[in-house]
């Protein structure tokens, strides 16, 4: 498990771009060569903009006090909830997972998405 996939690593990811700097999202996505990368690009008030590039299943987790907004740029993601429900989000579609909902994301092939959440969102990973 890498530092970025631990709860401490997830909440302490450094901000890559300061305010008033243009972020080229397609360039950022193309630069990712890992199978999984989730990085904070920018901060807005007490929230952050993350760019996630991944494929396959991510771990079951919950953000107790932060909603999580997903915006898919490329590919598709399925968001499964612990209660058995799921939603599929395709390119230029978005959906929010409310705080307290246990969920996991599944990248259908290589998926690029933006995620908006509290900058120091607590993440609790569940053991499977």
For 81: left if phi > 0, alpha if psi spans -120 to 50, otherwise beta; the answer is beta
Per residue in 55-107, pLDDT (tens digit) is 999 999 999 999 999 999 999 999 999 999 999 999 999 999 999 999 999 99
Q: What kind and span of H or E run contains 9?
A: helix 7-11
Interatomic CA distance for residues 110 and 105, integer angstroms: 13
Number of domains, the chain: 1
Domain residues for the domain of 66 are 3-125
**CATH number of the domain bearing residue 16:** 2.60.120.10
Which residues does 11 contact at the CB level (< 8 Å), separation at least 6?
120, 121, 122, 123
Per residue in 5-34, pLDDT (tens digit) is 555 555 667 899 999 999 999 999 999 999
Q: What is the pLDDT of residue 6?
A: 55
Q: What distance, in Å, lies between the first and last C-alpha atoms of the chain?
A: 15
Query: What b/e sequence results for 63-74 when a residue is b if at least 16 CB atoms lie within 10 Å of its CB, and e otherwise?
Result: beebbbebbbbe
């Amino acid at each position: 498990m890498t530092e970025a996939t631990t709860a401490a690593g997830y909440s302490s990811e450094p901000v890559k771009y300061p305010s008033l700097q243009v972020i080229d999202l397609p360039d950022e996505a193309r630069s990712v060569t890992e199978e999984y990368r989730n990085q904070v690009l920018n901060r807005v008030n007490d929230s952050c903009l993350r760019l996630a590039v991944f494929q396959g299943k991510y771990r079951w987790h919950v953000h107790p006090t932060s909603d999580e907004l997903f915006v898919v740029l490329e590919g598709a993601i399925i968001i499964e909830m612990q209660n058995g429900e799921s939603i599929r989000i395709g390119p230029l579609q978005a959906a929010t997972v409310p705080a307290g909902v246990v969920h996991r994301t599944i990248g259908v092939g290589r998926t690029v998405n933006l995620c908006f959440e509290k900058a120091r969102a607590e993440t609790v990973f569940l053991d499977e």
